[in-house]
A and B are shown apart, each in its own frame.
Chain A
């Protein structure tokens, strides 16, 4: 289908004075440094995920970002699907390679958020939720996931302590990731006593408001070895959708879009959930990671809380999840997230994940969700040897 020959990631965090176009170039230069056989002029098309021009009062993202990366000779496309923008940009890149129109395609994502106040960021992010019914009646993103959390707690007995463990794990993983936004250990008690954002979700249940960019360079599997000795093949991809409004869905305790995306990706890759060695999932809120375990088939429906409690998703567990620190602690520059997840899996599969390396990782998965789940995409990756 398509293979990754190199990848890059900017440092995530509060990147004061750096804007999207500059952050993206930072990610691209790492990718080019990593693979000397690819030059700027080899890149024929670029798919760039970005959620909102409102953060920087700047739309027309693709040419702007490409200009600052000296890439005006390629064909640029902006992809928007809220927090799944660059996961879906990756999907588009795969389609572009598979179409035969291009040999070398850049995919990536970027978002600059930290120069805005928290209420402003809350407002811009909420634009990815239904306006006439959800935003208009005071719902926010933490609010929407809080509605799911309350329903999950009520139906399956999931606890605030189990949700807090997701934060504990991901903050602990981020300590091993030099590019993570936050390097700070948290305890269950600290999460539980942090200030309430949208009950039952507290500050440490929420992902970070971050600046950052990520990118991958893709080519056809047959020619990948021309560029690198360590290609990573994308063996499965799926995308799913559901209603924009949470209130129109049959279930509040599972994301149908993510389940659909996962089923398609597993089927295409001809593998099962138990074959996954390492995964990056969309932990925009701690409850979202617990629901992801269930939607991806890492455990039975309703048992996500127990899976984290039993330590199965920690590094060293049966299926390590969010070794990068996740959206929770690596950071969540929304448009960059899907590509950044793929970057982490790429590092894990080529054995360059440093102190957080999972030994013998062969197959990895990314799960990237847009908004409260009106869109989702799942990718499955395999080491090239």
Chain B
């Protein structure tokens, strides 16, 4: 069983290993991604790590044309809120898609950017979504 603390940092450490993980409440079963100090449903602070669904659907999306400096070389790019098959929702970039084919309800799967060793904070490996 995974022993990592139930934190955002751990969530992204799993991402660097190519895994999308959530914290499941041992009392009520609610799945949290990212993990939180206590369950938003029942207040319990006992969790276990579980692997989240690798597939889901687009709940909403946008195409960003004006971006902060960090993403300036990527515009235009699509970002959406994805509902995974287990009900967990996460925002993320949607890649490998023609913008005019983007629609609410489209099925997507999760992929990960390559983990890179770097000095500065944050060291988080991004997950993203692609239609399948």
A residues apposed to B, CB below 8 Å: 118-120, 122-123, 126, 132-140, 142-143, 146-148, 150-151, 154, 195-201, 245-248, 252
Given known pairs A133-B34, A247-B81, the reply for A140 and B67 (CB within 8 Å) is yes
Contact of B79 with A138 in the complex, beta carbons under 8 Å: yes
Contact of A247 with B91 in the complex, beta carbons under 8 Å: yes
7 closest Cβ pairs, A-B complex: A146-B62, A123-B68, A199-B63, A147-B60, A151-B60, A247-B89, A247-B91
For the A-B complex with A133-B90, A197-B66, A247-B90 known, give 8 more contacts whose Cβ atoms are closer than 8 Å. Answer: A119-B69, A126-B68, A136-B122, A138-B67, A140-B68, A143-B64, A151-B59, A248-B40
A336 to B33, alpha carbons, bound, how many Å?
35
Check: B65 CB closer than 8 A to any chain A CB. Answer: yes
Residue of A at shortest CB range from B72?
A119
Residue of B at shortest CB range from A253?
B60
CB-CB under 8 A from B34, the residues of chain A are 132-133
Residues facing A in B52-98 (CB within 8 A) are 59-72, 74, 76-77, 79-81, 89-93
CB-CB under 8 A from B66, the residues of chain A are 118-119, 122, 140, 142, 197-198
Contact of A136 with B62 in the complex, beta carbons under 8 Å: no
CB-CB under 8 A from A150, the residues of chain B are 60-62, 104
CB-CB under 8 A from B124, the residues of chain A are 132, 136
Contact of B63 with A139 in the complex, beta carbons under 8 Å: no
Contact of B81 with A138 in the complex, beta carbons under 8 Å: no
Given known pairs A132-B122, A247-B81, the reply for A198 and B89 (CB within 8 Å) is no
Residues facing A in B88-116 (CB within 8 A) are 89-93, 99, 104
Check: B28 CB closer than 8 A to any chain A CB. Answer: no
A215 to B62, alpha carbons, bound, how many Å?
36
Shortest CB–CB separation between residue A311 and chain B, in angstroms?
29
Shortest CB–CB separation between residue B37 and chain A, in angstroms?
14
Q: Indicate the member of A132, A135, A148, A150 with the most B CB atoms within 10 Å.
A: A150
Contact of B67 with A252 in the complex, beta carbons under 8 Å: no
Contact of A195 with B67 in the complex, beta carbons under 8 Å: no
* Size class of the B contact interface (CB-based, 8 Å): 35 or more
A147 to B60, alpha carbons, bound, how many Å?
5
CB-CB under 8 A from B60, the residues of chain A are 147-148, 150-151, 154, 252
Contact of B89 with A248 in the complex, beta carbons under 8 Å: yes
Contact of B65 with A195 in the complex, beta carbons under 8 Å: yes
Given known pairs A138-B77, A150-B60, the reply for A133 and B91 (CB within 8 Å) is yes
Residue of A at shortest CB range from B103?
A154
A325 to B124, alpha carbons, bound, how many Å?
42
CB-CB under 8 A from A137, the residues of chain B are 79, 91-93, 126, 128
Task: Name 13 interchain pairs, CB-CB below 8 A, sorted by A.
Answer: A119-B68, A126-B68, A133-B91, A134-B91, A139-B79, A140-B68, A143-B62, A151-B104, A195-B65, A196-B63, A198-B63, A198-B64, A252-B81
Check: B26 CB closer than 8 A to any chain A CB. Answer: no
Contact of B63 with A138 in the complex, beta carbons under 8 Å: no
CB-CB under 8 A from A118, the residues of chain B are 66
A142 to B79, alpha carbons, bound, how many Å?
12
Residue of A at shortest CB range from B129?
A137
A136 to B12, alpha carbons, bound, how many Å?
11
Residue of B at shortest CB range from A147?
B60
A129 to B126, alpha carbons, bound, how many Å?
17
Contact of B80 with A147 in the complex, beta carbons under 8 Å: yes
Shortest CB–CB separation between residue B28 and chain A, in angstroms?
17
CB-CB under 8 A from A252, the residues of chain B are 59-60, 81
Contact of A138 with B64 in the complex, beta carbons under 8 Å: yes
Contact of B59 with A139 in the complex, beta carbons under 8 Å: no
Shortest CB–CB separation between residue B128 and chain A, in angstroms?
8
Residue of A at shortest CB range from B70?
A123
Contact of A120 with B69 in the complex, beta carbons under 8 Å: yes
CB-CB under 8 A from B62, the residues of chain A are 143, 146-147, 150, 198-201
Given known pairs A137-B92, A137-B126, A247-B90, the reply for A122 and B63 (CB within 8 Å) is no
CB-CB under 8 A from A119, the residues of chain B are 66-69, 72
A135 to B91, alpha carbons, bound, how many Å?
10
Check: B42 CB closer than 8 A to any chain A CB. Answer: no
